[in-house]
Amino acid sequence: MQSPIAILQSHKLRITDCRLEIIQEFLDKNIALSHSDLEETLKQQFDRVTIYRSLKTFLDKDLIHKVLDDSGATKYALCSHGETVHDHSHEHVHFKCETCGETTCLEDITLPQVKLPAGFEKKEMSLLVQGVCEKCH
């Protein structure tokens, strides 16, 4: 299905060890990851800066997106697990477990229309639900 190499190629990015491992980690874990999460878990040891720059590049190329988090940590997740890259789901729904701290994407949930006050233009919506996940019950 989705291989790290294919993902990089489809975003016209050069294939490097660091990038491959980061993407692999996102695919494996399937939860939102922060820079320090990656720094700790990547098998190979990469420079902190390299990981920062990889994340920035991925953000710029819409390969990952930021996931809201209340802890102050900046977390990221892969965009559109499926194939539709252009579809640009500007709606993000995530669940963060207060016990284990893991943030997962709730794929199936669609956000209702929100009617904003006059003069406000909506471009993007993110819903973060916090509670306890099934693993921690």
- Across 48-66, b (16+ Cβ under 10 Å) vs e yields eeebeebbeebeeeebbbe
Q: Is 104 in the site for DNA (CB under 7 A)?
A: no
Choose the stretch contacting DNA; rule: CB under 7 A; options: 8-16, 93-101, 118-126, 128-136: 8-16
Asked if 39 contacts 31 with a C-beta cutoff of 8 angstroms, the reply is no
Q: Is 100 in the site for a copy of itself (CB under 8 A)?
A: no
Asked if 54 contacts 22 with a C-beta cutoff of 8 angstroms, the reply is yes
**Binding partner of residue 115 among DNA, a copy of itself, none, CB cut-off 5 to 8 Å per kind:** a copy of itself
* Contacts to a copy of itself by CB under 8 A: 66, 68-70, 72, 74, 93, 95, 98, 106, 108-109, 111-112, 114-135, 137
